[in-house]
Amino acid sequence: MLKLSGLSALMICAATMAQACGGAGDACETANGTYHISLPDDVNGPVPVVMFLHGYGSHGMASQNNQVVGQAVRDRGYALISPNGLRGQRTTSWNFHPEFDRGRDEAAFFEEALEDAASRHDLDMDRVLLAGFSLGGSMTSYIACNTPGDYAAFAPVAGSFWRPEPASCDRPVNLFHTHGWRDTVVPIEGREVGSGFIQGNVFSAFETWRLANGCAQPHATKMQDDGIFMRRRWDECASGAALELALFPGGHTVPEGWGDMVLDWFENLP
């Protein structure tokens, strides 16, 4: 049996401890925040990633424990990374609104969390899907618009731009937005939630996405009903860009079946 020197044993022990973070009581910590991570049961080679951003007042472990998000993602063979939002005086949120800067560069923090996770686990950094719910969906939308970086695709749920909405976005992206037709917390047409703090209109956002993606037609060019989902897809877009909207008859939630629907879409991107 190979015997380890004291130094080698200490190095292996340190590496094991470094990889052990990510659970409920031991979030992984970077210079600008913390995140949680879980891996699929069967890991074979580099693992694709879903980074999922929680909603207002929530935390990363809520996504990890959610069957519709966490379990569905892991069952498909993906790692789930769930960063923790900024904790203010009252609750947690993201620094997303263009006129209310809370200090942290979220795009840099997410990249930092990804790099840290990749240093601990064998992750496929070419297959990273950024998704999020509610304000996490809004944060996802702003990242996709302003700093898309190297993410392969984006999948906001029940959250989009706020007013003033972006006049344009950085470049074409792959984006799949899901929204409940009966959502009254973040209605499709938007609403005012405080003085000067107004949710934008999802259909208006899709016009911005259509222009960013260079889609020729103003209307969806393919429509289909897929279970509870009413899916609308824009074709004739820029090379390497995909744009789709899925509506469902529920309210402010991540609907059952979302994980499989979005990951099927993601895995079939050109």
What's residue 42's pLDDT?
A: 86
What's residue 157's pLDDT?
A: 98
What's residue 43's pLDDT?
A: 84
The b/e string for 145-160 (b: 16+ C-beta within 10 A; e otherwise) is beebeebbbbbbbbbb
The rounded average pLDDT for each run of 10 residues, N- to C-terminus, in the chain (270 residues) is 36 43 95 97 92 97 96 97 88 87 91 98 97 98 96 98 94 98 98 89 97 92 92 93 97 98 96
- List the one residue out of 32, 30, 10, 28 whose CA is nearest residue 19: 28
What's residue 19's pLDDT?
A: 56
- List the one residue out of 179, 213, 228 whose CA is nearest residue 199: 179
What's residue 68's pLDDT?
A: 96
Q: Quick count: other Cβ atoms within 10 Å of Cβ 90?
A: 7
* Rounded distance between C-alpha atoms, residue 206 and residue 229, angstroms: 18
